[in-house]
Structure 1
Amino acid sequence: MKDWKTQNWFGHEIEAGSHQNVDLEISESYSGRNISIPLRVIRGSKPGPTVFVTGALHGDELNGTGAIRSLLADPEWGPSCGNVLMIPVLNVLGFERHSRYLPDRRDLNRCFPGNASGSMATRMAKVIFDAVVAQCDFGIDLHTAAVRRTNYPNVRCDFKNQECLRLAMAFGAGVLLDGRGPKGSFRREATLAGCPTIVVEGGEVWKVEPSVLECMTRGIVNVLKVLEMIEGEPDVPENQVRLKHTKWVRAEHGGFMDMHVSPGSTVVKGQPLATNSSLVQEDHNRLEAPFDGIVIGMTTLPAVQPGEPVIHLGKLASPKTARRVEKQTQADDMQRTAQEHLSTNMQVTEPIDCEPSESEPVE
């Protein structure tokens, strides 16, 4: 462990109980100028864990950036023990272009732990991994859905890793998804390197959505409370649903979609999810739930072609479980508000009478 009283972070001597804004140099521009990530190091007065919180690993996913900035707006906010590295934008090159990707079209979130002699993306990943992940004990990585989609707030982690599961449950999003993450992803490689890391998904790209921001800020504080870095009890839902299987329900035909559910809705097998038809309301085709589940993501673009993803469902055990999850959602103010707010981003209608199509088989 580093000496606690004074520690060197990114070339700056920072005293215990203080905070400082610093820059992490990650690459160089075409003109040879340094490219840096701005961040804040917040140090508690007593020893404890070191946690990183990152936003905009995909440069267009800004809800996490908004959540981190919201906490940083209070200069008195911070842990009583341990260190927190608050990084509003990890992918600054994508952020500058309002893009998910780096200028060379590579996905930074598939390039970890990086390579010091590889592509620009893997070199950046190597710097970030060595400077941040290798110095931390835990991590929280904040994301949104990809372009033209939205996500109901959820936490993703490897359920087999008990430390990751502890962080995920402490975050308190209400919905947990099991998975290690894709190969080369930040959270997967960080966890493999001994820094248990969770991913939080919520909302859309290019936005800071108040209900998602509130969920993320509450979750960050909750995790720090469970790690005993901040005093107090975490504010988490009484029950949280754990999902091991999910499926994208895809369009069978091209057309214009009428949605019958919204993010966070619980559904039972056979329930209408969406109906698409021609622009003059002919040739109706209905998509139905292939199983009992909860809507964890969906398209925000009503025009579809065959095979395009429409509704992302998390599989629940039974209709009884679906009813219980709906009751749990309504009992938690934050989840209920997120569900209500996200539903206003799309038109949700009652299904009309039409011949239903066969649901896709479960993958």
Structure 2
Amino acid sequence: MTTLGTASAGPGEIDTGRLEVGETRDGSPVGLPVAVVNGAAAGKTLYMQAASDGDELNGVGVIQRVVPRLDPAEISGTILIVGIVNYHAFQVAEHRNPIDDTKMNRAYPGNEGGTSSERIAAATFDIATRADLILDLHQGSTSRMLDEVRVRCGNRHRLHEQCLELAKAFGCGYILDQKGPDGQLARAAPDDGIPTVDPELGGAVGWDERSIRKGVDGVFNVLRYYDFLQGSHSLETQTRATGFEQYGAPAGGLVTLQKELGDPVRPGETLFEVTTPFGEPKAEVTADGNGILWRARRLPQVATGEYVCSVGTDIGEY
């Protein structure tokens, strides 16, 4: 029997339930939605979670579509899932936990006696470290961005190659291989010996069906590659960036991008222009070096210094 919160499943069974992680301001219990898929045959354990940042919903869409397609009779091993991590932020469609104004994916490995976010991080980290592999599903919040998988442990980490292999198995087509900030699950879990990646499934306000479908495909790619499911999955070459440069607006106005997401960028090429509302030129920003347009703001209006776009640099194949 495998148990996660109130969900319990024997071999060949699936169950859903709640994982209690505290109380709301009226004293009602807070329970994260969880699922256990216990395969009929022995095998590895995969942990998946979504919405550790409360407005990043594409990962929730992936889990919503993946779980009904999982037949425990056909699975070897166990899949543990927390469908919504940042409960309080999800309820109000915000990025940060409004109870403590914390970005949840900076709180790992958490603290059982700490703030709301630290307690939730500790509870989910305890589940995650029961696994052999971890998928922490994200998206680019309100920015438009490529579907990518992020390897955040750093290239000197002892699990770096295993994390890269997991990213390649997921197979979004793009990998950002750059050490992440402290407190990310994809930073903390490899320190406990568990290969972990952070699929960033596009960027949208609400759902993005194309990115959700790519995420669903990625999960099933992982399940086949690591033998949770029968059927082969051949690793395909991915485009990998190991650097990331951000560009801001030198003047306020309306931005017109001169490149599409995924387009190659060369030194001196125009990335974007800023004009007045009447189309009068105010500024032109060019690329500092070679790369790929990786991410861009969704809305055209900007103030001086406001974020406009990001270019993935040090591009290669993996």
TM-score normalised by L of structure 2: 0.92
Partner of 1:156: 150
**Cα distance in 2 for residues equivalent to 1:93 and 1:235:** 39
* 1:180 Cα offset (Å): 3.1
User: 1:74 Cα deviation (Å)?
Assistant: 2.9
In the other structure, the counterpart of 1:344 is: none
Mark the CA change 1:78 to 1:185 in structure 2 (over 3 Å): closer, same or farther: farther
- Mapped to 2, the partners of 1:78 and 1:242 lie a distance apart of 36
Q: Paired residue for 1:105, among 101, 105, 123?
A: 101
Q: What pairs up with 1:83-98 in 2 under 5 angstroms?
A: 83-98=78-93
In structure 1, the residue matched to 2:117 is: 121
Q: 1:314 to 1:183 in 2, by over 3 A?
A: same
Q: Pick the aligned partner of 2:313 from 290, 299, 315.
A: 315
SS in 1 for 2:148: strand
Q: Name the CA distance, whole Å, in 2 between partners of 1:228 and 1:217.
A: 17
Q: Is the 8 A contact 1:49 1:136 kept in 2?
A: yes
- Deviation above 6 Å: which 4+ runs of structure 1? none
Contact in 1 for aligned 2:149/2:198 (Cα 8 Å): yes
In structure 2, the partner of 1:254 is: 252
May I ask how many residue pairs the two structures share in their alignment?
312
When normalised by structure 1's length, the TM-score is 0.81
- Hey, what does 1:263 align to over in structure 2? 261
Gaps of 5+ in 1: 1-5, 326-363
Decide whether aligned partners of structure 1 residues 183 and 227 sit closer, same or farther in structure 2, where only a CA change above 3 A counts: same
TM-superposition CA deviations, 1:90-147 (whole Å, max 9, x none): 11111101011112211111111111222222122112212x1121111101111133
Distance 2:35 2:22 in 1: 19
Cα distance in 2 for residues equivalent to 1:166 and 1:44: 23
* Corresponding residue SS for 1:38: strand
1:283 corresponds to 2:281? yes
Instruction: Please report how far the alpha carbon of residue 88 of structure 1 lies from its aligned counterpart in structure 2 after TM superposition.
Output: 2.4
Instruction: Provide the rounded CA distance (Å) in 2 between the counterparts of 1:263 and 1:235.
Output: 26
Distance 2:280 2:124 in 1: 53
Distance 1:235 1:95 in 2: 36
1:73 aligned counterpart, secondary structure:
helix
Residues 202-221 of structure 1: matches in 2 within 5 Å? 202-221=201-220
Unaligned runs of 5+ in 2: none
Where do residues 1-363 of structure 1 align in structure 2 (5 Å cutoff)?
6-74=1-69, 76=71, 80-103=75-98, 104-130=100-126, 132-147=127-142, 149-157=143-151, 158=153, 159-160=155-156, 161-234=160-233, 237=236, 239-316=237-314
**Distance in 2, Cα, partners of 1:134 & 1:143:** 19
Distance 1:75 1:224 in 2: 10
Following superposition, the deviation at residue 205 of structure 1 comes to 4.2
Greater per-residue strand proportion: 2
Given that residues 255 and 300 in structure 2 are in contact (C-alpha distance below 8 angstroms), is that contact kept between their aligned partners in structure 1?
yes
**Cα drift, residue 267 of structure 1:** 2.0
